[in-house]
Amino acid sequence: MKRITAIPLAALLAAAILVSGPGAQEPAPLVHAADDGLALTPPMGWYPWNAFGEEPQNEALIKEIVDALVSSGMREAGYVFVGPDEGVCFSRGADGRLTPNLGRYPSGLRGLGDYVHARGLKYALYTDAGTRTCSTAMPGTKDHELEDMRAFAAWRADYIKIDWCNTEGQDIVRSYTALHDAQHAAGRPVVHSLCSWGEGAPWQWAGRVGHLWRTTADICAPGQPDWAWGLRMAFANERLSAYAGPGRWNDPDMMIVGMPGLSDAQNRSLFSLWCMMAAPLIAGNDLRVMSPATAEILTNLEAIGIDQDPLGLQGRILWTDGNVSIWGGKRLFDGSQAVLAFNQGRYPADVRIAWKDLGIDPQSACYVRNLWTRRTQGPLTGGLSVGVAPDDVVFLRVATSDAFPLPPIISADAYRISLRTENSAPRTLTGSIKVTNRGSDELPFWTIGGGVPPWLSVRIIKDGQSQVFVNSVATAGLKKGFYYALVRADNVDPVSGRPMSSLYYDLDLEVVRNVSR
Ligand code: GLA
């Protein structure tokens, strides 16, 4: 039996009003988190919990995943944050300090961080705002906020997921604020990923103290993805669209895309929903055994471009009959907009998408880009009809031109430079980092922020679509010892003067002997 669902235009509009009317929550005034330039687009990366749970997590596993992120092309597609989730990474010593578990992480947590940074990825760790983590296997940060944030800074973490287990009697806003303040005092800019599963309505206040917050329960038990449960996370997150924006994101949890038991259509749908909602794209599948179909889904730059759009709007449901939903409300940087038709029903559906329901003049001649078939249709006036298979989506971009440019999608070949000199005569040492944008336009030149020490100078040169950060160290007059710089670079929109993105990298210098002038 084939059921045809045609959507009457009036219903589309009425439903759009309904969905954004009663029941939808109004945003509280949002204060942007620190002016750290972090997470101006939704963070992308990989975390181990969904595939592995706690037990098999160790240094060898994380390193294999790091290598897979690079070899699969995921890094170039923007997935950069990676590291252990809960899995006995550290314990607390009698002096109150965190001590890495060298049984599981023989290189230490700083050593693993260096491995991650050397491969052009950013280091993610996990902790908890309470007395213990969820499994109780690791200490939480309660009453140790500053020393723990200092430990994370010393390990060179760039991203910390902060869980909300074992927090009885704690005030949620105070607890996460204390961690934010401690992280600032520790001096290393870090993306804070709050994980209270929606408890305490973090969307109302967490933009001040973090960059993303879980809005829902866990998307799956480790190793047990569930399509229907995954969709519940998406629909719960959808209601909060008004709260998302650059530097502050609703997080419906790490993705289950590519986990065993899900079809390609289901993977495509889940990925499209996450992109449409400007959700953090944290993959949770085992990248070492990823199928080509999953890799193609996770690295589809046209879909990623919707997620990573600099305006940072979270799309929402314009119309639904319970089986088919049409998602919109996601205007993009070039004036185009993203539209998603999703069919949760058991039968194929025909869906009518009308320009006027997208706020476009019906007489406008528009081009339509299908982000999965990668075909462009048009110019079309009025709208278009699409067929959507069960569990599948049609993911579109609608524009008055057929250019469909991609926003910046940035990756680097390293986030750490390590230099050493044994020479007592002055030298110039150099180390470079290559930053590549896979978006359509060349980026303006990055500008280096203040705070670069006098022995270091950074020059940026163009290399095709990439820019190379050439770091030169003048060793004259340096004393024997270890030197360190955290370099910040901003990519600033020349018209508005607004930073479009910031990147940070570490530079370590070892001077083995005193150097003459
Ligand atoms: C919570 C989080 C999960 C995972 C586990 C680890 O349940 O929501 O994502 O980090 O803790 O115990």
| Residue whose CA is at the smallest distance from ligand 1 atom 11 | 134
pLDDT at 425 over 50: yes
Residues facing 403 on adjacent strands: none
Tokens 């709007």 sit at which residue? 313
**CB 380 within 8 Å of CB 256:** no
**CB 239 within 8 Å of CB 327:** no
Q: Which atom of ligand 1 is nearest to the CA of 85?
A: 10
Q: What is the mean pLDDT of residues 143-153?
A: 98
Question: For position 34, what pLDDT does the model report?
Answer: 52
Rounded Cα–Cα distance for residues 193 and 167 (Å): 17
User: How many angstroms separate the alpha carbon of residue 218 from the centre of ligand 1?
Assistant: 7
User: How many angstroms separate the alpha carbon of residue 168 from the centre of ligand 1?
Assistant: 17
Reported as a single tens digit per residue, the pLDDT across 357-415 is: 999 999 999 999 999 999 999 999 999 999 999 999 999 999 999 999 999 999 999 99
Rounded Cα–Cα distance for residues 269 and 262 (Å): 11
Nearest to 356 by CA among 344, 345, 347, 364: 364
- Report the residue among 52, 86, 224, 282 best suited for mutation to probe ligand 1: largest number of ligand atoms under 8 A from its CB: 86
Q: What is the mean pLDDT of residues 50-79?
A: 97
Cis peptide before 222 (omega within 30 of 0): no
List the Cα angle 100/106/110 in 5-degree steps. 55
Which percentage of the chain shows pLDDT scores above 90? 90
| Residue whose CA is at the smallest distance from ligand 1 atom 9 | 218
Q: What is the mean pLDDT of residues 81-109?
A: 96
Tell me which residues are annotated as active site. Answer: 163, 218
User: How many angstroms separate the alpha carbon of residue 396 from the centre of ligand 1?
Assistant: 33
Question: For position 497, what pLDDT does the model report?
Answer: 82
Global pTM reads: 0.93
User: How many angstroms separate the alpha carbon of residue 16 from the centre of ligand 1?
Assistant: 35
- Is there an atom of ligand 1 within 6 Å of 195 CB? yes
**CB 341 within 8 Å of CB 393:** yes
- Is there an atom of ligand 1 within 6 Å of 114 CB? no
Contacts of 377 (CB under 8 A, 6+ apart): 367, 368, 370, 384
Q: Work out the pLDDT band at 237, boundaries 50, 70, 90.
A: very high
Reported as a single tens digit per residue, the pLDDT across 161-196 is: 999 999 999 999 999 999 999 999 999 999 999 999
- Is there an atom of ligand 1 within 6 Å of 194 CB? no
- Is there an atom of ligand 1 within 6 Å of 219 CB? no
Reported as a single tens digit per residue, the pLDDT across 22-49 is: 333 444 434 444 578 999 999 999 999 9
Question: How are beta strands 481-492 and 447-448 bridged, if at all?
Answer: antiparallel
Q: What is the mean pLDDT of residues 93-111?
A: 97
Reported as a single tens digit per residue, the pLDDT across 118-143 is: 999 999 999 999 999 999 999 999 99
**What b/e sequence results for 4-40 when a residue is b if at least 16 CB atoms lie within 10 Å of its CB, and e otherwise?**
ebebeeeebeebbebbeeeeeeeeeebeebbebbbbb
- Report the residue among 218, 219, 220, 256 best suited for mutation to probe ligand 1: largest number of ligand atoms under 8 A from its CB: 218
Contacts of 496 (CB under 8 A, 6+ apart): none
